[in-house]
A and B are shown apart, each in its own frame.
Chain A
């Protein structure tokens, strides 16, 4: 039981980290709390499903299509809506939340309701570790979470765009004097954040079905991890994912699964009381931003 809890706790942590990574990236760079994040996640799932089942494309093309599609959606959201309210935190939240609602309800309106909306798993079968069995898809989720974290680490340190991201995140005005255009980087951060949401959707959704209401759940999880870890901090995201992921799994295994949601909420409440900027956060005005 304990080994099972540790294994599934790790997978749960990886899922939370994957889900929160895109939200955190966008906020860390452009300062925009993208409340349409859950909707982008669901959009990616449905978009991949449409490409696979309606257009009949090979699955790898659908995966790439969904990631690129989510990135384009992020750019469109930035230039059409976010740019107009940028810098006004409350308006940003309301605008992105409204956008998210619109996207999700559009899917509902166009009859994307039911149990047939699923994405294929990457590899069939499961691995046994003594009495504990775990399916390959969950292992892939954990591997992709690790790979993506490593990629982001190197990307933000050794590529031109990555360095520009960090420059804007550190000091927008100084970055401007170096010729880094903040709006372009803001749009790119939305694109990257959305693409990361798509990656999370592509690997996590094959575990179950794509449901519109799943978007809200993803947003809540992303918010919980980011608030606890500290908005904008990659290390914070990883630590918070592990803390919340294991706390949830231990709660489910040794108490009751219906207390799991309380874990995230209690973690948010405790962090906001003790250290409002999060465990590793540098955003001093967290309460105003979220």
Chain B
């Protein structure tokens, strides 16, 4: 009997010896996701949180199925500080190279914050054939590069909104204001950086000139500006009906407070990053009612018609104990990890070229709506969440609620004019 037990014991040990390494082997070598972003900025920080949230969900469900082997994702992030004033592009490129060469990143997700850096980084990822999915940089130049030299730049994709789509949302809102209230005089204020300047230029060329609006003034403010009285006085003097702000810096919330305190009789409609999140109401002393702000990608705002955006919004709040504040990046950052997972699983390999081919075939319903890439590797944004990804415009209303006012497919209410401002017709 003793001998029989011993044999069973030996057999057990043998089975254990065989199964443990198999299990370890099956868990697989991690797939490294390099995240070179700007953690000093809210979009960078919350974007990374969302990447980690998606990675944890995927790993908890067993990981990524690469040709039958389950492999976990592993995130390595670098605070490349690309969004901060004065940080040279070369520093951000170094961060990309470090991730690829030292940390052996298989993919770059979220990518550089500023377009200047992201566009320069396209050469780096092209050189090493590492697919990169962008989550903040917005310049359409990225798509041009992909289309003009596909073989070299095909490794770069973008899930977040680009400047052209932002213009479409802003332009749609301006068309609505013109039709509803007869407004046609605008004053443009933008941050003095590439994406904001370009957005302002394109708004003039593609929207205001075509729609017959008069641009009564335009001013660019350097990063870090905290007094906007000069432009507000000019807007008042030149009888602007709408102020179009384009800012992504923490200090830009001051603009709306000054607009209120200086009682400038205009409507503010554009993008001011600190106004995107639910905390803005209290942060700015409840003085932002009436301001219309762009939410670059839904998910920052839960949209009942896109159930996954509500699910994502609640999941984030549950995990991190507070709601998403950034109006740009979080939901795309979450989605890009799933997009990558699905592409790797379809490709059955983590080889850059094979994954790129599968990324191009992406068709997924996610927190930002339907996700598909165009030929320039940009996710297509539009008006219908069943067909495209979505951004939206919200208006701040008392007592601190963000109401979706555009596009009509997902709008919850119509735009209201702030006290003291009357329709022009």
Contacts A121-B285, A209-B250, A217-B224 known; A249 to B325 CB distance under 8 Å?
Answer: no
Q: Contact at A116–B230, with CB atoms within 8 Å? A: no
State whether the Cβ of A120 lies closer than 8 Å to any Cβ in chain B.
yes
In Å, the complex CA distance between A115 and B276 comes to: 10
Of B60-68, B141-149, B167-175, B214-222, the stretch lying at the interface with chain A is B214-222
In whole Å, how far is A211's beta carbon from the nearest beta carbon of chain B?
A: 4
Give the residue of A116, A118, A209, A261 whose beta carbon is less than 8 angstroms from that of B222: A261
State whether the Cβ of A101 lies closer than 8 Å to any Cβ in chain B.
no
Q: Which residue of A lies closest to B189 (CB)?
A: A257
Q: Contact at A115–B192, with CB atoms within 8 Å? A: no
In Å, the complex CA distance between A134 and B258 comes to: 9
Q: Contact at A257–B226, with CB atoms within 8 Å? A: no
State whether the Cβ of A207 lies closer than 8 Å to any Cβ in chain B.
yes
Q: Contact at B285–A120, with CB atoms within 8 Å? A: yes
In whole Å, how far is B255's beta carbon from the nearest beta carbon of chain A?
A: 9
In Å, the complex CA distance between A252 and B217 comes to: 13
- Chain B residues with CB under 8 A of A209: 250-251, 253-254, 274, 283
State whether the Cβ of A98 lies closer than 8 Å to any Cβ in chain B.
no
State whether the Cβ of B51 lies closer than 8 Å to any Cβ in chain A.
no
Q: Contact at A133–B284, with CB atoms within 8 Å? A: no
In whole Å, how far is B267's beta carbon from the nearest beta carbon of chain A?
A: 17
Q: Which residue of A lies closest to B191 (CB)?
A: A258
Q: Which residue of B lies closest to A114 (CB)?
A: B42
Interface 0/1 of B265-308, CB less than 8 Å to A: 00000000110010110111100000000000000000000000
Q: Which residue of A lies closest to B236 (CB)?
A: A131
State whether the Cβ of A32 lies closer than 8 Å to any Cβ in chain B.
no
Q: Contact at A1–B250, with CB atoms within 8 Å? A: no
State whether the Cβ of A87 lies closer than 8 Å to any Cβ in chain B.
no
Contacts A4-B229, A208-B254, A256-B220 known; A113 to B285 CB distance under 8 Å?
Answer: no
Q: Which residue of B lies closest to A204 (CB)?
A: B226
Contacts A12-B227, A209-B274, A253-B233 known; A258 to B250 CB distance under 8 Å?
Answer: no
Give the residue of A4, A8, A113, A253 whose beta carbon is less than 8 angstroms from that of B40: A113
Number of interface residues of B (CB under 8 A): 42
- Chain B residues with CB under 8 A of A12: 227
State whether the Cβ of A214 lies closer than 8 Å to any Cβ in chain B.
yes
- Chain B residues with CB under 8 A of A113: 39-42, 45
- Chain B residues with CB under 8 A of A108: 39-40
In Å, the complex CA distance between A8 and B233 comes to: 10
- Chain B residues with CB under 8 A of A1: 233-234, 237
Q: Which residue of B lies closest to A53 (CB)?
A: B282
Interface 0/1 of B200-244, CB less than 8 Å to A: 000000000000000000011110111101110110110000000
In Å, the complex CA distance between A213 and B39 comes to: 12
Q: Contact at B229–A8, with CB atoms within 8 Å? A: yes
Interface residues of B in 68-119 (CB under 8 A from A): 84-85
In Å, the complex CA distance between A258 and B222 comes to: 5
- Chain B residues with CB under 8 A of A207: 226-227, 254, 257
Q: Contact at A115–B277, with CB atoms within 8 Å? A: yes
State whether the Cβ of B263 lies closer than 8 Å to any Cβ in chain A.
yes
- Chain A residues with CB under 8 A of B280: 115
State whether the Cβ of A170 lies closer than 8 Å to any Cβ in chain B.
no
In Å, the complex CA distance between A270 and B257 comes to: 36
Interface residues of A in 242-287 (CB under 8 A from B): 249, 252-253, 256-258, 260-261
Q: Which residue of B lies closest to A260 (CB)?
A: B222
Interface 0/1 of B334-351, CB less than 8 Å to A: 000000000000000000
State whether the Cβ of A183 lies closer than 8 Å to any Cβ in chain B.
no
Give the residue of A4, A8, A214, A253 whose beta carbon is less than 8 angstroms from that of B251: A214
Contacts A208-B253, A217-B224 known; A257 to B42 CB distance under 8 Å?
Answer: no
In Å, the complex CA distance between A197 and B320 comes to: 34
State whether the Cβ of A135 lies closer than 8 Å to any Cβ in chain B.
yes
Interface 0/1 of A209-226, CB less than 8 Å to B: 101111001000000000
13 A–B contacts from the bound complex (CB under 8 Å): A1-B234, A8-B229, A114-B325, A115-B42, A115-B274, A118-B284, A124-B285, A125-B261, A134-B261, A207-B257, A209-B253, A211-B251, A260-B222
| Among all A-B residue pairs, the 5 with the closest Cβ atoms | A135-B261, A115-B274, A252-B230, A208-B254, A211-B250
| Extra pairs beyond A113-B40, A114-B325, A209-B254 (16, CB < 8 Å) | A4-B229, A4-B233, A8-B229, A113-B41, A115-B283, A118-B284, A126-B263, A134-B261, A208-B251, A208-B254, A212-B40, A213-B85, A214-B250, A257-B220, A257-B231, A258-B222
